[in-house]
Amino acid sequence: MRVTEMNEKQFAAEAENLAEVMTYVQDGLKEAGCPPQTLRQILLAVEEIFVNIAHYAYRGEKGFVTVKYARLDSPARYALWFCDAGVPFDPTARDAPDISTDLRNRQIGGLGIFLVREMMDKMTYTRENGRNIIYIEKQ
């Protein structure tokens, strides 16, 4: 795997910054040659992950999220990293929600992360040096 170019930017972990994050990722991945359908799926994942971090990682305190993206070669894949110093949370450890249950009887939460896991080819979580790192990849 060869990274063609890594780009990163830090954002305040506030839901109001979602549009700026989306524009940053969209513009960068378009320039990297990301096909429109793949880009739409990635942007849905970006929205879910960033909003979750903004709402829950810092428990009402100010914090930051570093968003990185890169195009990986052979074959062309797109990778994103979301890094924050908030409370430890591994979204990949959550059980998939029971989507066969009637909506009125379903437990609240978890559907967005489930969708990210389903749409992306890869999703991992690590905790390093006091930071949560969520990695997603899409071919």
pLDDT in tens, the chain (139 residues): 555 668 999 999 999 999 999 999 999 999 999 999 999 999 999 999 999 999 999 998 999 999 999 998 867 899 999 999 999 999 888 665 555 555 555 455 555 677 888 899 999 999 999 999 999 999 9
pLDDT at 93: 86
pLDDT at 94: 67
Query: What does pTM read for this prediction?
Result: 0.86
pLDDT at 14: 97
**Beta carbons within 10 angstroms of residue 42's beta carbon:** 24
pLDDT at 116: 84
